[in-house]
Each structure stands twice: as structure tokens, then as C-alpha cells.
Structure 1
Amino acid sequence: MSPGPRLAARFNADRRLGLILAAVVVVLDQAVKAVLLGPAELYQRQVIEVLPFFDLRYATNPGVSYGMFAAESLESRVVLFAVTGLISLGVLVWMFFEKKRGDILSLALILGGAIGNLIDRFRLTHVIDYADFHIGDWRPFAVFNLADVAITLGVVLLLARTLFIRDKDGDEPQHDPAAKVSAK
């Protein structure tokens, strides 16, 4: 069998759904940033108070999560872009070989968030962050964006599925043996 039909067989409904989810994350992430940087002029206003515990706060992040590995020079930005691009490609490949819908969708969230932040890096050389949760002056989280939420949610779901939901073969959710006995 040639590689064409095998590759086409892998591209089933779950993978299409995963690609759609990743695309939705990218579009929403970029749309929110476009509104905040365009009509809302968040970059000029710096902070828009929305709720007593939530502000829209303009922040740029030249690094990755929480500003780690800040890329200030052109060379470091190119390296960071290449590394995050390769990681995104790895997630895409994993998504195409993954068989379980829940894992495919978790990977799609990670992929969509990574691409959303990659677009920022390509266009602006940094990621735009804006979501700021706080209690008074205490900020338990760094300022983040929708792409960060998608990546975090995808990782948490993937870990939860790996640690708590699969049986030893990894194919089916764990079932309570007592439930089978009581159902008889």
C-alpha cells in the first residue's frame, strides 16, 4: 500500500475536528488581540478595569510563559521562534498519530495556542498578553492571553487523561468494577 491511502486514512473525523478546534483557538486569540490593540486602544490606555478582580492590562512578553527565556536580541528571537515552531510541529505530528479523541482535542488546544502566540512573535517579535486577575494588589498569575489558556488547558487535560482516565492499556476509561457487580 502506498503512503497516500495510509495518510488519508489517518486524516479522519477526529483529526479534522482537532484541526478545526486549533483554528478556532487561533482565530479567537488573534481577534481578541486585534480588538484590544485596535478599537479598544489597550496599548495606549495600558489598563481597562473590567471587574474588581479582573483588568485588561497591556503587556508584552518577549519570552515564553511568565517571561522566562526572554528573547531580546534578534538572534535569540529567531532561536525562540524556531524552537517554539518545532514544538508546534511536533504537537501537530503527535495529533495526527494519536488515536484517542480526547487526546487529539487536548493536543489541538495546545497547537492552537502555540500558533496564536507564534503569530504574535512573527508579526511583533513578542507575545501580547492582556488578562490580569488580581485580588487588590495581589496578582496570583502573570498577565496572560487566550492562547496561554488554551495551551494550559490542553496540557492539564492531557495529563489528567494520562494519569486518571485510562486503564492500563490506555484505550478505555477506567470503570469501577463494583459498579459492574451492582448492575447485575
Structure 2
Amino acid sequence: MPNVAPNAAGRFGRLGWLWLSVLVLVIDQASKFYFESSLTLYQQIVIIPDYFSWTLAYNTGAAFSFLADSSGWQRWLFALIAVVVSAVLVVWLKRLGRNETWLAVALALVLGGALGNLYDRIALGHVIDFILVHWQNRWYFPAFNFADSAISVGAVMLALDMLKSKKTGEAVHD
């Protein structure tokens, strides 16, 4: 795998990657603010006919609206999980070696996305989603947001790192 940013850990320290998390958080919150102020609930703006639209949806559950129909207790459960996971990710980032750039980027992406959705969950009681991928009017992937995308990209990077580590005995780093 490519070296994402040479010497970043050396210049900023291992926790320097938290700036990537902050960037993800800022982009996530700015995009949610924009779409919430520009669209009404469930309104769709077609970007690519039959495939991609902007929309506004609120998710009180977890991924794919898991437990969204519950009475509200799930808000605090998912917030607690996000806080614990975020703390674990910060500790993990802090313990990374200087040559673990790929893993640092992966963790920072997941952390930034988790914090973006955590803010929504605590402040609003739901997560704002606005990206809608679909096929004609027959199949719709659940709406998602920038934070979800960062979490997904980071998770794929983590999986690739683990697969590469298992295959070669070395992690995917510099």
C-alpha cells in the first residue's frame, strides 16, 4: 500500500493525525448543516438520474437504521459506544509507531466519522443523512453522510492492513 504522507508522524507526533479526524468532523458537520438548511425532510434532488440523489433523512438508530423504532434509549447506548470507541482509537493512535502511516490514517478517518455522528446523536437525538444511492426506483441503499463514508473508508483500510499483516507477517505501513 502507498505511503499516505511521508514523515507526517515525525512532524506532528503520533497524535498529529487527530487533525485528519478534526477535518472529517468539520466537513461532516458543515455538509449536514448545508443539507439540513437547504432541503426539507425526505426531499430528493436528483444528481445522477436513477443512481444518485441528495436527500434529507434523520436516523435515530445505528447503521441501516438499526433500532430506529425504539423508544429513545438507543440514542444514549449508541452515544456511549461511540465515546468508548473514540477513546480506544485515540489511545491506539497514540501508541502507533512512526512508520504506521496507513494505520494512522485509517484510525483517524474512523475517529472523525464517529465523532461527527456522535455530535448529531447527542445534540440532536438523531444523525443527519443526505447521500442517497439507488437504482431507478427499485432499490435504495440507506441514506448516509460524510461521517459514514469516512468510517467506511477507514474500516476498509483497517481490514486491508490486517489482511496484509496476516499474509506477509508485516502490517501495511510505509
In structure 2, what residue type is equivalent to 1:50? I
Asked if the contact 1:11–1:96 (Cα under 8 Å) also holds between the matched residues in 2, the reply is no
1:102 CA drift (Å): 0.8
CA distance in 2 between counterparts of 1:47 and 1:162 reads 38
**Structure 1 residue ranges, 4+ long, deviating more than 4 angstroms after superposition:** none
1:63 Cα deviation from its structure 2 partner: 1.2
Whole-angstrom distance in 2 between the partners of 1:57 and 1:171 = 37
- Residue 118 (structure 1) aligned with residue 118 (structure 2): yes
Count of aligned positions: 162
- Who is 1:29 aligned against? 28
Q: For the residues of structure 2 that align with 1:138 and 1:45, how far apart are their CA atoms? A: 17
Query: Partner residue of 1:20?
Result: 19
Which residues of 2 match residues 112-151 of structure 1 at below 5 A? 112-139=112-139, 141-151=141-151
Q: Residues 41 and 57 of structure 2 are in contact (CA less than 8 Å); yes or no, is this contact kept in structure 1? A: no
Report the CA distance between 1:116 and its aligned residue: 0.4
Q: Is the 8 A contact 1:71 1:80 kept in 2?
A: no
Structure 2: any 5+ residue segments left out of the alignment? 1-8
Counterpart of 2:160?
160
User: CA, structure 1 residues 143+44, in 2 after alignment: closer, same or farther (shift >3 Å)?
Assistant: closer
How many Å separate the matches in 2 of 1:121 and 1:172?
34
Match of 2:86 in 1: 88
**Which residue matches 1:49?**
46
Larger radius of gyration: 1
What's the secondary structure of 2:46's corresponding residue? strand
Identical aligned residues as a percent: 32
Aligned residue identity for 1:123: A
Show CA shifts across 1:94-143 (max 9, x none): 11112211101100000000000001101110101110111201335211
Rate the CA distance shift 1:154–1:172 in 2: closer, same or farther, 3 A.
closer
Q: Does the aligned pair in 2 maintain the 1:131–1:145 contact within 8 Å?
A: yes
* CA distance in 2: counterparts of 1:137 and 1:45, whole angstroms: 15
Q: Distance in 2 between matches of 1:72 and 1:11?
A: 46
> How far is the alpha carbon of 1:60 from its aligned partner?
1.0
Structure 1 residue runs of 5 or longer lacking an equivalent are 1-9, 174-184
Q: Answer yes or no: is the 8 Å Cα contact 1:14–1:101 preserved in 2.
A: no
For residue 5 of structure 2, what is the aligned residue in structure 1?
none
Q: Answer yes or no: is the 8 Å Cα contact 2:42–2:57 preserved in 1.
A: no
Report which stretch shifted further, 150-159 or 132-141.
132-141
User: Aligned with 2:157: secondary structure?
Assistant: helix
Per-residue CA distance 1:45-101 (angstroms, 9 max, x = gap): 721122212111111111111111337434332222112211121112111112211
How far apart are the structure 2 equivalents of 1:127 and 1:13? 32
When normalised by structure 1's length, the TM-score is 0.78
